Structure 1
C-alpha cells in the first residue's frame, strides 16, 4: 500500500487509524481488511463468516 493515500479515497479516510494488533499478528494490512469488510457488507454479508 502507498504510504500517503489520496485523502479523498476510501483508504485515505481510514489511513489515520492505528493498528491495534501486534507486529507478529500483522499478516495483512489493516486498511486492506477494512476495505474488504466494507465491500462484503455492500454485497450483502451479514457477519464475519462470509468474510472468511
Structure 2
C-alpha cells in the first residue's frame, strides 16, 4: 500500500469515527461524493458568472 492509500484510509476512518450518527451520510464515500458535487457546483457557478 502506498502513502496516498494509507492517508486515504486514515482520513476515511477519521471521518467515519467522528461523524457517525451526526450526519445524514451513510458512509465516507457518500460524504466525499457530496463534497465533490458541491465543489463542481461552485466552479460551475463561478465560470457562469464570468460570462
TM-score by length of 1: 0.39
**TM-score normalised to structure 2 length:** 0.40
Structure with the larger helix share = 2
